[in-house]
Structure 1
Amino acid sequence: MSSTGTTLVVAVPAAVLGAAGFGLASAVQQRATKQVPTSRTLDPRLLWDLVRKPIWLLSIGTVLAGLALQMVALAFGPLVLVQPLLVTSVLFGAVFAAGMAHRRLDRVLVLGALAVMAGLALFLLLARPAGEGTGFTATTDVRPLAVLLAVVVLACVLTAHRFPGEVRVLALALATGVLYGVTAGLIKVVAEQLRHGGIAEPFVHPTLYVVCALGPVGFLLSQNTFQQGKFISPALAVITAVDPLVGMAIGVSWLGERVETSPPALAGQALAAVALMAGIWVLTHRGEHLRRVAEMRAG
């Protein structure tokens, strides 16, 4: 079988199944967060409550299975093919969540999810981020982007504390996506240190310890996000979109990676970004509308 045939037969199904695993895990985690007391943002007691739920523990296994399938997909296919396919987790999450709640899948939420998937997939295809980077060097200045991302996360947490409803969900999801993207970008650095310097090399650099600190915070924020949102689609769409975009920004700003910057590519990226933002807007406003309808019926 040719290399192209192997890519289609192995990489594509593995990426789609991995996306399905991520979508299922997110839907299960959202359902589990509704079965425990509502906690404040970044309160670690939420994880203590969740870890005693067998269904939540099973979702962690589903995440690991999704990661394994993602690794298989990347081993047999290029990043530019695998990343857009992983975006389908947004739609899988919506389908699984609706099924577990025994409700019909809302058509407007589906259209919004499709717009997010199409916009992000097109953006990644046009940007074509290069997987090979120089890594941190003596001239790398991480401060501008690091400060910007820290301000975004802090502003999101403060916004979530002040505003209710879908605004809170959107803010928490944005902060989660930023932390996930930073963690993913820094894991690239740790992997390179491990590959070139051996198993002890990452322990002599601060990157590994930053990953160990940010990773759990991002995961806790994701559980706060799922607990606050009535519908999974808006939150999962924001997290899924922001994660790779922040990772790409880190690759370009810190690790010496490259993206396509020709005028046609930039024009296409701008259109893709519009579709992405429109999808998120539709999901957010439709989610808020459905939340109010449900509250009126319940009260």
Structure 2
Amino acid sequence: MIFLIGLAAAGLLGLGFVAQQHAAYREPLGRMLHPSLLLDLIHKPLWLAGLAAMVGGQILGALALSGANVAKVEPLLATNLLFALVIGRIVCKENLHWNEWLGGLMASGGIALFLVLGEPTGEHPTGPESERWLAAAGIVFLALVLVSIGRRSPLQTRAMLLAAAAGMLFGLQDAVTRGLLLRLGHGLWAIVTSWQPYALVIVAICGLLLAQSAFDAAPLRVSLPAATAAEPITGILLGVLVFTERLRLGPGPLAGQIIGLAMMVSGIVILGRSPYLAKRENNVSECPEARLP
């Protein structure tokens, strides 16, 4: 059941990303990383529909996290790019080429290999006062470094760096969500008086702004793969560091996990380069004009 819920969440996220990027891509580049970008996008029905799909995906993702640890759920959420590819294919009304099939097989096979060989199990509820949450501060710092470098980089590199920073914050958001779910048994007052629900809102808004800025800068084939790869890696890392989730560490399983993650990231990159995720000059209504060659 967790597997199906995770895939359903990924499907809604993929749909949301496609709709949001089509709307954000028409925004002036000068609004990147500025709150006015979000204020303008909330007046666009297509973007709001994408946001609704994304929220639905986040809710299903939270439901999956309530029944499984972060290291199991995150790889499933990473398949949102597969769904974005299919949606892009339907919109552009063209057949998939061999590289799209290769990317899909590599991404799916890598996720399956990681889950089978890693067998992420076990966790310890971590209260908001635990020092293990300092790992979250490290993730925020790394995201800020990527944003800082991206601001001084060429447009295409900027899009990838901003998307990677957004993915890191989305992974952090998943970990904080899991932390809140584990504390439900302590009562509402214990949750309200902790830093986690407020940090969750701030992280979600910042991640959304970074993602929309990346979508404003470049087509999905450039911007989405970095976010899709960074989110599960961050979530798995926080699952191990914060919730002490355990992966099989024998030489064989560890090598298989590394290969699986490498396959997943490589497949995501290949899929992200699909022309069906980019906007086209010859069909603005279905695959709008791209700024990049």
Q: CA deviation at 1:175?
A: 0.3
* Change in 2 beyond 3 A, CA 1:50/1:138: closer
Q: CA deviation at 1:223?
A: 1.0
- Give the SS at the match of 1:28: helix
Partners of 2:225 and 2:132 in 1: how far apart?
31
- Given candidates 162, 165, 173, the residue that maps to 2:152 is 162
Residue 219 in structure 1 maps to residue 208 in structure 2: yes
Letter in 2 for 1:246: T
Taking structure 1 as the reference length, the TM-score comes to: 0.78
- Give the SS at the match of 2:145: helix
CA deviation digits over 1:221-252, x for unaligned, max 9? 1111222222x244333322321221222222
Q: CA deviation at 1:165?
A: 4.2
Paired position in structure 1 for 2:233: 245
Partners of 1:298 and 1:158 in 2: how far apart?
22
Q: Check the 8 A contact 1:234/1:283 in 2, yes or no.
A: no
Paired position in structure 1 for 2:39: 48
Paired position in structure 1 for 2:171: 181
Q: Check the 8 A contact 2:221/2:273 in 1, yes or no.
A: no
Letter in 2 for 1:242: A
Q: Check the 8 A contact 2:66/2:181 in 1, yes or no.
A: no
Q: Which moved more, 1:91-100 or 1:25-34?
A: 91-100
Letter in 2 for 1:215: A
Residue 150 in structure 1 maps to residue 137 in structure 2: no
* Change in 2 beyond 3 A, CA 1:172/1:109: farther
Aligned residues: 285
- Given candidates 258, 267, 285, the residue that maps to 2:255 is 267
Q: Check the 8 A contact 1:88/1:117 in 2, yes or no.
A: yes
* Change in 2 beyond 3 A, CA 1:257/1:23: same
Q: Check the 8 A contact 2:17/2:84 in 1, yes or no.
A: yes
Q: Check the 8 A contact 1:172/1:225 in 2, yes or no.
A: yes
Q: CA deviation at 1:121?
A: 4.0
CA deviation digits over 1:10-61, x for unaligned, max 9? x555443332222111111111112333344421111111111111111222
Q: CA deviation at 1:267?
A: 0.9
- Give the SS at the match of 2:34: coil
Partners of 2:58 and 2:154 in 1: how far apart?
33
Letter in 2 for 1:200: W
Letter in 1 for 2:226: V
Partners of 1:72 and 1:206 in 2: how far apart?
21
Q: Check the 8 A contact 2:110/2:263 in 1, yes or no.
A: yes
Q: CA deviation at 1:297?
A: 11
Q: Which moved more, 1:211-220 or 1:196-205?
A: 196-205
Q: CA deviation at 1:198?
A: 1.3
What percent identity do the matched residue pairs reach?
Answer: 29
Q: Check the 8 A contact 1:21/1:66 in 2, yes or no.
A: yes
* Change in 2 beyond 3 A, CA 1:40/1:161: farther
Residue 27 in structure 1 maps to residue 18 in structure 2: yes
Partners of 2:177 and 2:190 in 1: how far apart?
13
- Given candidates 178, 184, 192, the residue that maps to 2:182 is 192
Paired position in structure 1 for 2:191: 202
Letter in 2 for 1:162: R
Paired position in structure 2 for 1:118: 109
- Given candidates 246, 249, 255, the residue that maps to 2:243 is 255
* Change in 2 beyond 3 A, CA 1:214/1:40: same
Paired position in structure 2 for 1:279: 267
